[in-house]
Each structure stands twice: as C-alpha cells, then as structure tokens.
Structure 1
C-alpha cells in the first residue's frame, strides 16, 4: 500500500508545486475546448430550423390553396343550384302553364288584337313576374302580338327573331335565345320560349318571354363571396348576362378559348393571360356558365397569410439561436476556467458534478388547417342534397346494375308559398320528404333535387315494385290531414329505368315523364317507357 500511495502523492505534489503545471493546463484547455463542436451543433440546428420552417411554410401554403379552391368551387356550385337556377324554375313553370292554356281560338283572337281572355292572362302573368319585361305570342305564319303592345316597323319579320325558333323545333322544352336587340324597344335582351301545342298535339306557334336581366341581377349585390373576386353569369360566347353591376351586362368578359376548356359540370381553371383563377358551373339549358373569378394577387394574399407569419418567425428564431449560442459559449469558457482552477487546488467531486450548464431548448410549432366539409344532407328536408344525388347517380351508372330514377314535383307549390307564406311552404316540403323517407325505408335513397323538386334512386329491375313505392308515397301525401283544414297537398312524379343511356339522357327522359304527369292532370305517377 505504501508503494502504491507514494506515486499518487508525488503526482499530486507535482501538479501543485512542480514545473509540470504549465503542460497540464495546456492539455486540459485542449481537451475541454468545445468551440468548434458548439459552432457545428448550432449550425446544424439553425440549418435544420430554416429548412423545416421553410418546408412547413410551403406545406401550409399548399394546404391553404387546396382549401380555398374547394371553398370557391363549393360556393359556385351552391350559388348556381340553390340561387340562380331557382330563379329560372318558376319562370319556366309560368311559361309552361301559360302555353298549356293557349289553344287555337285564343291564339287567333290575341293575334287579331281582340280583347281576348289570352290577353288578360298574359297581362296578369306579366304583372306578377317582375323578372319578365314582355310576352309575345305568334303563329306558324309569323303573325304575332305582344304584351305590352309596342309598334314595330311594317316590314318586321317575326320569323327571323331568335325566339321564333321554337316554332320550327320539335322539342317541348324551354328554349333560351342568345342575347339580341329587341326590335320594339331597341334594348339588348334574352328570350325564353316554348312551342305552343294544341290538344291534338299539333304545333300552333310560339310563346316567348323577355327576361328582365337587370332585375335578376339585383340579388347579386348582396352576395358575400369567400374570396375577393367577381361573380357573374355568361353565355357560350363569353358575354355577361347577370352581374351585380348592371352596367356590365352584355360586356364580353370571358375568352371563347377559355370557355372551350370548360367541361360540362363544375371545375376550376387558371387563366394565365388575365392572371386569374376561374371557378365555373355550367348549365345545360340554358347554355350558360356561372363564373367566379379571383385574381392571383387576391388569391395569394389569402393563401399565403399563414405561411408569411411562419416565415417572419424565422429571423426571430435565428436571433434567439444566436443569443443562445453566445450564452452557451460564454458559459462553456467559464466552466473550463472553473474546472482548471479546481484541478489546480484539487477540489472537484466527479461523482457529484455541479450543474454549471443548463440548456433548455423549447420549440413551438402550430399548424392551422381549415377544412371544408360539404354537407351531404339538405338542412330543411333531411334528404340527401343535390351534390349527393349527382355522386350517387354517377356511381349507379358506373356500377352497371339496374336501377330506377324518380323525379317528384309538388303540385301548385308556388300557390302555397304565395297564399300561406314560405314558412308554411317549408313545412309542407319537409313533411312530404318525411313521408317519402318513412315509406321508402331502405328500398330507395331520397334527395332534394332543387326547390320543390325531389328525386329518388331505386335499385333493382322490378318495375311494379318501383311504381308501387312512388304510388304509396303519393297516396300518403294526398290523404294526409293538415292542421289547415282547407290545405290539400299533392305531387306529380315521373319514373324511368336506366337503359344504359347517359346520365343527361336519363334525367331528360324522367323529367319528360314528370311533365307528362303534370300535363295529364297532376297528382299522379307517370312511367317513362
């Protein structure tokens, strides 16, 4: 033990008193010098921080772009189907009902400018529809008369007018004209017309109505869009037909080449010439497009806001890292001096090291994500909404399995709204939907197609079962007792089986069957053979 202890004492004395003190300090300083490691570590931290925050910033921006694209697309879809389209449904219904009222003698009396019952009906129709500026009726030879009556030149040829095309058409559907100059008023207008057919099925002439596009545009002034942009409706040529600023009506706005890229349905395009995002929804009849444009500057301002906040935080984080780096470097230098000093005097407890350095790194990362979940259910009726209908109908066609499509339209629903108020109308619509859901159960899916129109998809190929389901629903509605004793609610329905045709052809077939049910006296189900 003595032999072992002597060298230790000798080493201790040499460390404190002898010449080897200077070489020992050099070794300690060299071993404990950590500036290089500290610089490298903080360099890696700072580089990682910059790359991470830049990457996250790009991901946030990309996520925001996708979110705003979805919001804008949903906005255009809802405006087109729940607002604009609903303005034209009552007008088409008015045109259809008025044309059904006209027969040969009534048309002849009106064209002879007599005080006929048809003139009285047209005047009343015009007075209760502010969206219509004038009504014109003509026979197959081009003789015509208008309400209100306005003179025209003696050489005026009615057969050359855009609305007259209905007389040469075999279609009983409503035809919308391109915008043209009205020969009587000299103003630009758009007409929608329909063939007048006798009870025997022979064409008698044309009934046309001029749209008051300014009146139809006024509600757009109260429009609240999700992004700063411009919302309007254009025809196939790109001319504006509806706009919140009526001074823009008929102004050419969208390049035909861009319209040519717009497929049927809804989508989003980017126009590099005008540097705008173009969101659109296309109608089949009329051949119009609902357009919502957002400039690149406004779109980027909305989508890059959160990303910019994160980028602004990078210099702040770098400054904090530099302060920490300077503080740690200072602490390490002090620690080395203290360790050397304690080694000089021999008082250091390696089993219980002093807590000289305490580094606390705290990083915070908040990522905000906005999600738009388009509801698949109509809030009023509890049925599936139009978007669900489009998706399910496409799925049925793609699946290739047989199914039936039914279209339901409440009879005289406008009269219920006008006489009893829209709250009562909502109650009626909701009750009819509930009757349908209770009667159908799991045998069919019911949808609110739009306004007072409902739709249902019935899987299978049993025609009698499908008709019975609709008839049962119709009878439940017809025999229902309402709180208002004098209230009677019925509906007409069209039903058709998918025969491998396209979706548009199937809808047109069933819609035509619905019109047949209406023309046959309403309150009935008509099957499209």
Structure 2
C-alpha cells in the first residue's frame, strides 16, 4: 500500500487541527457573543416594559383620583345642569386625559357630556361599558368596546354616592384607542428602525395599544408572553409571536387593571450586527491563516529532512562510511538527534557483535545473558556517543540459602529462571546481563529513570508471583540509576546503583529503590 510521506502527514494534520481549532473557536465565540447580545436585549426589554407598566399604573391611578374627586363634588349637585356641564368640560379640558367625559344618572340617562359634539346629553346610554358601570357600581376600567360615538374605547369610571351611601350614578372618561389619547402620549410610538416596539394588552387579551393602529382591538391568543403577563408575572422570553416572527420580549403587568405591557425586538435584527462582525473576522483571519499554513509547510520540510537522510543512510549499513554519513546528519531537534544516536548505537552494537567482540567473551554460559565484559563494552559505547541510559542492578534475596538447602544444581536453575523472567519483562532493545553470582544487570538505552523503575518493579512482581525451581517465595531486590551524558563514569553509576540495592536489602528486601543523584562538583 502507498505510504504518505512525513511532510504531507504533518501538513495534513496541522491543517485539520487548525481548521478544527478555528472552527471550534469561531463557533464558541459566536455562541457566547450571541447569547450575550440576546440576554442584553431581553433584559433591556424587560426593564423598559417594567418602567412603562409603572408609568401606566401611575397614570391610571391619577386619572381615577381625578374622577373620584369629581364624583365627591357631583353628589350634592346632581340637579344643577349648568354646573354638571361645567364639571365635565373641566374634566375634559383640564388634563387632556380623556377623549370624552360623561356624567350618567343611576337610570342610565346622560346628564352632561363633553365634547358637545357627542350629543348624548339627555339620552339613555346603553353600551357595554355603561351597563357594566351601572351594574358593578364600583371604580371601573372596562375592556375595549364600541361606544355610542362609534369609537373603539376603554371607559374609566367612578361611582357617585350621596351622604347616605345611595348610588346616584357615575362619572367617567373614555380613551379612544384609534385616536390620539393619553396612553399613546405616555408610551409614544416606540417603533424604531431596528424593529423594536411596545404594545399593551388588557385582561381579555385585546390589544389596547400597538404600533400598528390596525391591530388595536385585536384579540391575541397562543402567545406565551401575553399568558405570562396576564398571570401578573414579569420577565423576559424568546418566542415566536402570533405573526410567526422570532422575538426577544420583556413584559410586566399593570397591577390595578390587569393589563400587560410588552416590549420586544426581532431576534434577527439583534443578531445582524454579530453576523456582520463574524463575517469580517473570517475575512481578516484568512490572510493570516494562509501565512500560517505556508510556515507549517516550511517547518514540515525541515522536520522531515533529517529523517529522510537517516532513512537513506540506514539502507547502506554495510558500508564502511555509513557511520560517518549518519554522524554528518544535522539533527536540529531533539527527537532527530536521539534517533541519529540510536542508529549510531545500533551500528556500533552490530559491529561489536559481528567483529570486535567474540560472543563467547561477552555472554554468560549458564544464562545466555551478557556477562560483565559485554555489559562494560555496551556502556563504554554509549558513553562515547553521549547516549543516555538507565541501569537496574538486581540481586536474588537469600540466594546462599537456596544453594545450602537445595544444592548448586537447583541454584543454577534458579539463576536460569530469573534470566528468563528478565527476558519476559524487558524490551527488545534492553541489554540483559549477569554481573556475577546471583547479581544481574539490565541496561535500558534511552530510557528515563521512571521507565527503568517500572521495569524493575514489573520484574520483581513477576518473580514473587511465580513458582521458581525452589517453589514459591523467591524474591528480588533492585537498585535503579540513570546516566546522563557528561554526568559521571560507569564506575560511579554502578556504585550508585549498588548503594540503592544495599538500601533495598537493608529495608527488608523484595523491593526496588532509586539511586541517589550523582554528586555535583
């Protein structure tokens, strides 16, 4: 199967990581900013709706106080037609609160009205609002209805009682919903270029104020915000309104009337600025991304170059100049340099095994492991190359007791058993040695101290858990040390490992201890 080269692999992986990182960052940034914008719009609309609801509540209370004051004056002068006419004109013109004002007797006859153009004085008034006011005989704000003048209106009234508490009639004012009224002047149009606006609904879900005059009086159902505000709740919510538009709405109730004020902004308008911003970010980031990819391609070539040279040189290991060619390769980063040293070490080991050392001189006849001469040659080679390695010095616990109790033949079998366990627990590149007697050494080229400790611990546990030629109970103790280039001699390294082994014996055997670091001058 065709293999992908390292340059293409690095470039491809970098491109994938860059795209994933940019995509994730872009998406996360968009989501965070979108949520912040929407939360800000929701909170702004909630605060504004609450402010306008408070203003409307204050306005309605002021209007009812006006009417209540007038009702208290009317009770004693119900037969004074001139004064009644003057009073309704005063109510109509003093504060401009009402589009029309009526004073109605308990038998539904209009005693006075303003403006004069209504022509209702002396007539029996039979409208939904009039009937409700006469029936309830309490302060009242009606739901929208068509009045005698043909206008869609909300009627606000106060009952009139004499000193004995008898009901005499009511005085009230109308707000014409399709004409300019005090509610419109309070709320304003609030129809901005971004599509934000405010509307008011009554207890029956009728729109009593809306930026679209054609919708005033319309009954709205299925809107969760309206349902919430009519439950006297305040807050904010994203919703699809009755016209199918995605909105960010804030709402608040008007307590005395049960009305609800809703301020809302189209979600699309809120996010348009963010969408333009994110598009601009992509445009501005593209040139930088291209430059980064070119830089990655150049770095990929530089990273792959030493490895390509090593691969080419490794094909001619049998050449006398192979070591020289490999040594001339510039490993400008640590992994390439380590690989170069490992290749040189492999060459040195190969030449050592093929020519300079006799196998019989470097191996132990009983176990087949390297003997002390082979161990020393390997360490000397690594010291010459400056290649770091770790060393595990191992001793069989109470081995003399094995020879004394079972004989030297069984003792030899135990040594072979331990050698086999060392092979099972070590790496293929590790050098396994018998230093003499019951003492063994494992050399781990390129391994750090932690890796050597793990191997030693794995070997110790394997021996302790296995059935040896003497049965169960055979254990090992070990000292572990690490050599860094230029740090010390092999003699010093072995001494430190031996001291760690001695401590392991002294602390009860069947354990692995690390050597103290080399003394610094």
* TM-score (structure 1 length as normaliser): 0.50
Match of 2:293 in 1: 322
Q: Is the 8 A contact 2:205 2:219 kept in 1?
A: yes
Distance 2:72 2:43 in 1: 43
Quote the residue 2:100 is aligned against.
134
Residue 242, structure 1, aligned to residue 213, structure 2: no
C-alpha separation in 2, matches of 1:324 and 1:333? 14
Asked whether 1:62 is paired with 2:35, we answer yes
Could you list the per-position Cα deviations for residues 140-195 of structure 1 after superposition, in whole angstroms to 9, with x for gaps in the alignment?
A: 222222332433498x6425541442333254xx3111222221x32222210011
Q: Mean Cα displacement is larger for which, 34-43 or 344-353?
A: 344-353
* Counterpart for residue 452 of structure 1: none
Alpha carbons 2:198, 2:210 under 8 Å: kept: yes
Cα RMSD for the two superposed structures: 4.1
Structure 1 unaligned regions, length at least 5 = 1-29, 354-529
Would the alpha carbon gap of residues 230 and 130 (structure 1) be closer, same or farther in structure 2, given more than 3 Å must change? same
Partners in 1 of 2:27 and 2:241 — Cα distance?
Answer: 27
* Aligned residue among 109, 132, 144 for 1:179: 144
Shift of 1:209: 0.8
The question of whether the paired residues in 2 share the 8 Å contact of 1:131 and 1:212 is answered with no
The change in CA–CA distance for 1:88 and 1:152 in structure 2 (over 3 A counts) is closer
Hey, what does 1:197 align to over in structure 2? 161
For residues 303-382 of structure 1, the aligned pairs below 5 Å read: 304=275, 306=277, 308=279, 315=286, 318-332=289-303
Are 2:98 and 2:174, in contact at CA under 8 Å, matched by a contact in 1?
Answer: yes
Q: Distance in 2 between matches of 1:302 and 1:253?
A: 34
Shift of 1:103: 1.6
Contact 1:192 1:209 in 2 (8 A): yes
Counterpart position of 1:125: 91
Contact 2:108 2:134 in 1 (8 A): no
Match of 2:110 among 144, 151, 168: 144
Q: Please identify the structure whose Cα radius of gyration is greater.
A: 2
Question: SS where residue 34 of structure 2 aligns?
Answer: helix
2:45 aligned with 1:72, yes or no? yes
On the 8 A contact 1:167/1:203 being kept in 2, the answer is no
Judged with a 3 Å threshold, the aligned counterparts in structure 2 of structure 1 residues 62 and 307 are, in CA distance, closer, same or farther, namely farther
* Equivalent runs, 1:454-493 vs 2, <5 Å: none
Which residue does the alignment assign to 2:233?
265
Contact 1:57/1:308, CA 8 A, preserved across alignment? no
In the other structure, the counterpart of 2:195 is 228
Matched, 1:282 2:223: no
2: CA distance, partners of 1:166 / 1:295: 40
Distance 1:141 1:256 in 2: 41
Contact 2:152 2:217 in 1 (8 A): no
Distance 1:37 1:257, change over 3 A: closer
Which of 264, 267, 279 is 1:293 aligned to? 264
Deviations 1:488-526 (A, max 9, x none): xxxxxxxxxxxxxxxxxxxxxxxxxxxxxxxxxxxxxxx
Residue 224 to residue 272, structure 1, CA distance change in 2 (3 Å): closer
The answer to whether residue 68 in structure 2 is matched with residue 96 in structure 1 is yes
CA 1:145/1:256 → structure 2, altered by over 3 Å: closer, same or farther? farther
Return closer, same or farther for 1:212/1:94 CA change in 2, 3 Å cut-off: farther
**1:409-428 deviation line (CA, Å, top 9, x unaligned):** xxxxxxxxxxxxxxxxxxxx
Unaligned runs of 5+ in 2: 314-323, 335-521
Q: SS in structure 2 opposite 1:58?
A: helix
Contact 2:191–2:197 (8 Å) recurs in 1: no
Q: TM-score when scaled to structure 2?
A: 0.50
